[in-house]
Amino acid sequence: MMKFLVLALFVAGAYGCGLPTFPPVVTRVVGGEDVRPHSWPWQISLQYNRQGEWRHTCGGTLISDQWVLTAAHCISNDKEYRVALGKHNLVETEETAVFLGAAKIIVHEKWNPLFIRNDIALIQLESPVTSSDTIMAACLPDAGSILPNNDPCYVTGWGRLYTGGPIADILQQALLPVVDHATCTKSDWWGFQVKETMVCAGGDGVMSGCNGDSGGPLNCQNSDGAWEVHGIVSFGSGIKCNMAKKPTVFTRVSAYIDWINSVSSHWVTLDTERRKTVTALICVLFNSNIKIKSIAEKSLLH
């Protein structure tokens, strides 16, 4: 039953998930680079309204036709957000782009900003988005799955190109090999700050996620060739973005599959019930109007 629920909620129509029309150009060479346009079609730009101007603040991942996965620390209660889908260059007008408001934003109920625990949030789009060559959902990993050490994954985003540098205009990708939990929790790495609900990647002192990448995906290819979102960019070194032995730390998505399913199914069910209630109310009002009109007509006849 749970497997059916996952499939029902997170398969994006005929396009499926994690298999882009324009596959990313990936190599084992470490280095940030411009992506092939629309090769990561689940990557979104989370934007906030600042005095009428929409500005990029975080990344995120489309996981179904109406849900986006991002980091809890990207969300502020006093901001208005929209989601930009199908984007490649943030500063250019692109025909492929779709902009949708957030109908609901659900931050994990145990999000702890002090210790950066449960750094995950879901955004429900104001309307379902249609899958296409440039907009597609990523696959979710199996619940509880753990990536092997040195597994070649890729971080994508429009974050700063280097410490203190400018935000990227064109979507960037960088190879970040997975660092296993035993290594990442060593005292000269991240130590006790990293928990089992997190996954580390990078740490070579050359490439990492940076400011503006937050909320975006750690993309890892499964044995069938489909791309899964295994991580949500959470935190890194406060000294500089690419510090040795301080890999980028991601929220481990496979630790939150039950939460994702629970939240999304709850709101889908609630929305369905609300629609039924509204429809029933309209019917009642319509029938009442007919009865009132009938009584009025009879009164006029007499």
119 catalytic, yes or no?
A: yes
Classify residue 299 by its DSSP letter: H
Which tokens is 1 given?
């039953």
Q: Which one from 119, 131, 208, 230 is the annotated catalytic residue?
A: 119
**Residue 259 burial (CB < 10 Å; 0-12/13-18/19+)?**
middle
**Distance of alpha carbon 294 from alpha carbon 87, whole angstroms:** 56
Q: How far is CA 97 from CA 38, 41, 93, 207, 225, in A?
A: 11, 11, 8, 28, 26
Note if 214 is an active site residue.
Answer: yes
3-state DSSP assignment of residue 229:
strand
Give the active site residue among 38, 73, 108, 230: 73
- Rounded CA separation 180/247 (Å): 11
Q: How are beta strands 33-34 and 67-70 bridged, if at all? A: unpaired
Task: Tell me which residues are annotated as active site.
Answer: 73, 119, 214
